[in-house]
Amino acid sequence: MKVSAFARQLETYLPGMCCPKCGQPFSLANAQLRCTSGHCYDLSSKGYVNLAPGHDQSREKYDAALFDSRSRIFEGGFYLPLWRAIRECIAQHFPVGDFSAADIGCGEGWYTRRLTEDFPASRCYGIDLSRDGIQRATRHRAACWLVGDLKHLPLADHSMDVLLDVLTPADYASFRRVLKPDGLLLKAIPGNDYLKEIRGLVKDRLRNQDYDNARVLEHLSAQGEILQRVTVHETFPLSPAQSADFLRMTPMTFSLAEGDLSGLALQEITIHMELLAVRLHEKGDAA
């Protein structure tokens, strides 16, 4: 993509953005985003803006190979039940489909892409700290792709109708700042059986061998009102290639060497997740 074409596309999204350093609005000039305080960020010809240029990408566990595996798993339909729950929830709250949304920790952008396809009147931002993930996401053009830190979200105050947080750490102070007063946080967390087959294979290497999301739910309840709670629980058969991709993409196996991974195999996988639609309180904890 030519930088000039990207700049024209980006103009649509500027009202929802702000400088992560100072919170001031952006303008476009000479293939750069420039805020009113003078901070500048170059536009990439690949179709994204790196708003966390100081982050050391070489230390990222979420690299290009992991996102390749994740992309194949997503395209295999394993997370479609969760997406259907997300889509139904959004449609209930925004029946016209005209809303602004940010996918926090979007990775390769599968959920962001689904948002733009199923709600074409929406304005969607995909944000992740991994440049590899964002570069893969830019293959789909109908969204604004940003490398950014969730603790310093490059989104304007009270600019988002929807925040999507799927298996991503939360910073509720940031979320509260960028959501509109009647905005909706859609947070998807693991259920107790999520990827239980992998947990069983590597349990001797895990600090917490049995996962329980009770504490996460308790903390979230203190941050806002849970308006809806939807459970997704399905078990799928796996091919050898799909087994390898699941094992490669989960943080549960990050401590294993590639040789150790090649000796493991799964016959099936359980996707157990809780989708929570939350209206955040006006004030709350930062965590």
Q: Is the pLDDT score of 209 beyond 70?
A: no
Query: Position of tokens 């209930």?
Result: 92
Per-residue confidence (pLDDT) for residue 286, from 0 to 100: 43
Taking residues 201-212, what's their average pLDDT? 69
Rounded Cα distance between 115 and 104, Å, is: 13
Comparison of pLDDT for 153 and 200, the residue scoring more: 153
Comparison of pLDDT for 245 and 60, the residue scoring more: 245
Q: Quick check: 131 and 57 in contact, CB under 8 A?
A: yes
**Average pLDDT for the chain:** 92
Range of the domain at 107: 47-280
Q: Which of the residue ranges 8-12, 47-51, 251-255 would you say has the lowest mean pLDDT?
A: 251-255
* pLDDT band (50, 70, 90) for residue 37: very high
For 251-260, what is each residue's pLDDT tens digit? 888 877 777 7
- Report if residue 170 sits inside a domain: yes
* Residue 140 phi, psi dihedral angles, 5° rounding: -105, 120
- Report if residue 9 sits inside a domain: no
Per-residue confidence (pLDDT) for residue 287, from 0 to 100: 43
- Strand pairing report for 160-166 and 179-190: parallel
For 159-174, what is each residue's pLDDT tens digit? 999 999 999 999 999 9
Q: Based on the structure, what is the number of domains in the chain?
A: 1
Q: Is the pLDDT score of 208 beyond 60?
A: no
Residues whose CB falls within 8 Å of the CB of residue 263, separated by 6 or more in sequence, listed in order: none
Specify the CATH number for the domain of residue 162.
3.40.50.150
H or E element that contains 178: helix 172-178
Pick the closest to residue 127 from 118, 119, 115, 117 (CA basis): 115
Ordered DSSP codes for 96-131: T---EEEEET-TT-HHHHHHHHH-TT-EEEEEES-H
- Report if residue 216 sits inside a domain: yes
